[in-house]
A = this chain, B = another copy of it.
Amino acid sequence: MLSKSQINSLKSLQQKKFRREQGFFLVEGHKSISEFIDSPYRIDTVYHTPAFDSKVLNLSQKINSCEISVADLEKISTLKTPQEVLAKIAVPDWPSLSQNELKGRFSLLLDGIQDPGNMGTIIRIADWFGIRDIICSEDTVEAYNPKAVQASMGSLARIKVHYVDLAHFLSNIRLPVFGALLNGENIYTTDFGSEGLVVMGNEGNGIRPEIEKLIIRAITIPRIGKAESLNVAIATALFCSEISRKAIK
């Protein structure tokens, strides 16, 4: 059984401030947690209700597990309908990416994405298209936000999300830098080659001027109809798809 202070401590991980302080985040549900178990992330404790058969998670001896009441789980959970299991996982501190590591493949750069749902969806898209690294400006929404974790559907376990000074990072990398911008090349006729970085901007304001300066090729998704814009996760998917077309064909 958990003490009141343990419950409060776990529940506080719903908030960024306490994730920062404690260095942990929450993952809910059997499927997502199982993806983290087979990943480089460090799992602190798996909490499950009596009804949940923790054997299905294939927990190693190194992972603590703890049975808690349904009432306690409901207190900690961020979900309207909590699942039977929840894990406390360490926020990773991935080593800095070098020029060499980014060669021969594509990575995504996010400049100030704010919506956690978009973040999670972008992580899931990256995972579908075999992208391994997402490099974010420091003000981009945390990938460890409960809504982002939920929307990533377990894909966060396979994607490294880095938070960096994006302008500084871009100034030090010699790779083709593509950016989703207006009045750029038509995405459907662009030859993306075999490596590079693709910059996606904030939901309302797009890419910041200081980042835009560092973009070598502005790319545009042409519009046929009348919608003013596309959601940033949708635009990211179209970029990933175009980058991958040749490899997939």
Proximity bits, A221-248, B CB within 8 Å = 1, else 0: 1111111111101100110010011011
| B186 and A248 form a contact (CB under 8 A) | yes
Q: Give complex CA distance A155, B117 in Å.
A: 20
Q: Give complex CA distance A128, B137 in Å.
A: 28
| A225 and B158 form a contact (CB under 8 A) | yes
| Chain B contacts for A230, CB-based, 8 A | 124-125, 128, 237
Q: Counting CB contacts under 8 A, is A153 at the interface? A: yes
| B244 and A241 form a contact (CB under 8 A) | no
| Chain B contacts for A131, CB-based, 8 A | 225
| Chain B contacts for A221, CB-based, 8 A | 241
Given contacts A222-B248, A248-B186, contact A155 B231 (CB under 8 A): no
Proximity bits, A212-228, B CB within 8 Å = 1, else 0: 00000000011111111
Q: Give complex CA distance A126, B223 in Å.
A: 11
Q: Counting CB contacts under 8 A, is A17 at the interface? A: no
Copy tally for this chain in the complex stands at 2
| Chain B contacts for A224, CB-based, 8 A | 128-130, 244, 247-248
| Chain B contacts for A186, CB-based, 8 A | 248-249
| Chain B contacts for A117, CB-based, 8 A | 117
Q: How far is the CB of A138 from chain B (nearest CB, A)?
A: 25
Q: Counting CB contacts under 8 A, is A3 at the interface? A: no
Q: Counting CB contacts under 8 A, is A5 at the interface? A: no
Point out the residue from B130, B155, B227, B244 that lies within 8 Å of A155, measured CB to CB.
B227
Q: List 15 A-B contacts (CB under 8 A).
A: A124-B231, A125-B234, A126-B225, A127-B226, A128-B223, A128-B224, A128-B227, A128-B230, A130-B224, A153-B228, A154-B227, A155-B227, A158-B227, A237-B238, A238-B241
- 5 pairs of A and B residues whose beta carbons are closest in the complex: A130-B224, A130-B225, A127-B227, A128-B227, A234-B237
